Amino acid sequence: MACESSSVKPVYLLLLCFLLGTASAQLSSTFYSKSCPSALRTIKSGVSSAVSSEARMGASLLRLHFHDCFVNGCDASILLDDTTNFTGEKTAGANNNSIRGYEVIDTIKSHLESSCPGVVSCADILAIAARDSVVALGGPSWTVLLGRRDSTTASLTDANSDIPAPTLSLSDLITSFSNKGFTAKEMVALSGSHTIGQARCTSFRTRLYNENDINATFATSLNANCPSSGGDNNLSPLDTTSPTYFDNAYFKNLQTQKGLLHSDQQLFSGGSTDAQVNTYSSNSATFVTDFANAMVTMGNLSPLTGSSGQIRKNCRKVN
């Protein structure tokens, strides 16, 4: 449970647990069973089609949900375009020219508005799409609690400060996740999402050329794709073994110093999370169970419910 973190101050922890428990109590796995019984089927169909066309999209949709939830909760704020009243989160350092999948969400939302207008929130679409993406790539399923509403604003400042950077140390990673109510164990499990997807050269160049703890053969294989200058948007897989299949290969890569990002390799660098990496590397079942449980916690981060938000008709703008 996220509320077991010992690195969070007691008073803050009690408040966090209360808020998470209250929010979760207002969400339900059957939220749309009467108001839009085809909702889950429609979302799954849209995700399946997108992932079938491009396997990488599964990782992109999962990441879209993560980057949404880490900034003021799972409220679909990441989908909002800039307005005269606020600058959205799409141009934040961690998102600009990197986050993808907006068009997939647009298509799913359009289908839902045709069958159940004004019923299914963009925040819930993101949460379900993340789960369905993992399943489409061979990973575990989990029960997604529903009933989130959409925010009416977004924050570029918070996106720039709250989303964990690929340059973070282990200590900073633990703090970043702890600030959101996650334990170090949950942080390692969620990092396992990097068993799918790719990263831009600009995200790992520093590790490639300035660090000593990178596998030499692995580094050489990356040099051509990520030169010391230029090619910032060139892509390399986060998991060198099976980047389009959700498994525990990511943790095996860390054991051989093949973590693509500095923050990846920090999980196996002689620190407190080495044992957890070893466990997940040797026991895939434990990893997928812990990952699924952590994703449930992720989806319950400060959701808007009731009159706190709205159901956007268009995920890119406020009604």
Q: Of 197, 260, 248, which Cα lies nearest the Cα of 51?
A: 197
Q: Check whether 186 is labelled as a binding-site residue.
A: no
Question: Is residue 65 among the annotated active site residues?
Answer: no
Whether 247 and 283 have beta carbons less than 8 Å apart is answered as: no
Tell whether residue 77 is among the known ligand binding residues.
yes
95 closest CA partner among 38, 37, 166: 166
Q: Is 75 annotated as a binding residue?
A: yes
- Position 147, amino acid: G
Task: Find where tokens 């997939």 sit.
Answer: 104
CA dist., res. 199 & res. 262, Å (int) = 12
Q: Give residue for tokens 């961690």.
A: 94
232 marked as part of a ligand binding site: no
- What lies within 8 Å, CB to CB, of 158 at 6+ separation is 71, 72, 89
Query: Does 213 carry a binding-site annotation?
Result: no
Q: Whole-angstrom Cα distance, residue 304 to residue 307?
A: 8
Longest dimension (CA), the chain: 57
Beta bridge partners of 200: 235
Written as one letter, the residue type at 278 is N
User: For the chain, what is the radius of gyration of the CA atoms?
Assistant: 19
CB 190 within 8 A of CB 298: yes
211 annotated to a ligand binding site = no
- Selecting among 65, 67, 111, 262, the annotated active-site residue is 67
The response to whether 103 counts as a known ligand-binding position is: no
Q: Does 71 appear as a known binding residue?
A: yes
Phi-psi map region of 51: left, alpha, beta (phi>0 left; psi -120 to 50 alpha): alpha
Residue 262 in marked binding region: no
Binding residue numbers for Ca(2+): 68, 71, 73, 75, 77, 89, 195, 239, 247
Any idea which residues carry the catalytic annotation? 67
Residue ranges for the known binding site are 68, 71, 73, 75, 77, 89, 164, 194-195, 239, 247
Q: Annotated binding residues for heme b, as ranges?
A: 194
Annotated binding site for substrate: 164
